[in-house]
Amino acid sequence: MKDKKGLIFNIQRFSLHDGPGIRSTVFMKGCPLRCRWCGNPESWNPYPEIMTHDRKCVRCGKCEQICPVGAITVSPETRKIDRARCTLCLECAQVCPSEAITISGRYVSVDEVMTEVESDRLFYEHSGGGVTVSGGEPLLQWEFVSELLKACKERGLHTALDTAGYSSWDTIQRVLEYVDLVLFDIKHMDPGEHRKVTSKSNSLILRNAERIAAKKVRLWLRFPLIPGYNDSQEDIEKVARFGLRIGAEKISILPFHGFGIPKYEQLGRRYTFEQVESPDDEHIQRVRESIVALGLEADVGR
């Protein structure tokens, strides 16, 4: 286990929205859900893949020359990649001189991650922060995540797990041993509505939230606020009452935004949530006040 590597797609330093204080957030690759609004679609697949950045392309043709299956064609006007033919050998990204093709996903050891996150120890100590492991869904790589969180605890760093909860209880228990705080996503309380836009029912998710709360682990619920999907008064009250019932400390409202939309094109995918707009400040505030009125603490973007 000491030599086991995990697949990540980012380590975000100085994060202020993934738990208390200033944090380093380690983003694991791979997710069982397919939320249509997802801002990090590069997190879905549990393997490295290519992302294209057309504005950077200088049409040098090196990617076309090295592609072993002829999936890339370059002309003076454009460069095209046949994603169906691509075998993800990643050689095109390795020869691209302008980073017009990059690799999303790299394998790292626990020691490599710890070297990076420990460099900000002073910020954690002065702000009450620490390390958050997010995704994707970090529980898909639970063995690596468990070892990483254990290493953090051995070095006196506060730990948080950001999860959608779609995992076996046995797996969750193994990871919880090294977790100070769980950030738990609740996207919708209705199983059918949940399945429509995430591809999975929420039955297992809600059951796991209840089990985590019963273990007396600190628990914050995270609620992505999606206009037209889960922002009705009834939806808000159901989430808040669920949080109250299981003993969550608070709900963090995460307003929908479209910042991740360009990534879909970079991954060769179609974005299917085009008609949804971000909620305005007034609506977000009303949602927060509704939750607080029911007796549960609520904040925005944490």
pLDDT of residue 274: 84
Q: Give the chain's domains with CATH numbers.
A: 5-46+106-300 (3.20.20.70), 49-104 (3.30.70.20)
Parts of the chain with a pLDDT under 70 = 1-3, 302
DSSP codes joined into one string, 265-282 = HHTT-----TT--PPPHH
pLDDT of residue 4: 85
Name 274's Cβ contacts closer than 8 Å, sequence gap at least 6.
Answer: none
Q: What are phi and psi of 218, to 5 degrees?
A: -55, 135
Q: Which two tokens stand for residue 237?
A: 């009250």
DSSP helix/strand/coil, 96: coil
Strands 158-163 and 130-134 turn out to be parallel
* Whole-number Å distance between alpha carbons of 156 and 138: 21
Strands 5-15 and 23-28 turn out to be antiparallel
List own/partner pairs for 233-242 with CB under 8 A and 24 or more apart: 233/290, 235/188, 235/189, 236/287, 236/290, 236/291, 237/290, 237/294, 238/189, 239/186, 239/189, 239/291, 240/290, 240/291, 240/294, 240/296, 240/298, 241/294, 242/186, 242/189, 242/206, 242/209
pLDDT of residue 302: 66
pTM for the model: 0.95
How many Cβ atoms sit within 10 Å of the Cβ of residue 258?
14
Closest CA to 35 of 233, 272, 234: 272
What are the distances in angstroms from CA 31 to CA 40, 87, 163, 262? 10, 21, 10, 19
List, for residues 116-165, the tens digit of each pLDDT value: 999 999 999 999 999 999 999 999 999 999 999 999 999 999 999 999 99
Closest CA to 32 of 178, 138, 179, 177: 138
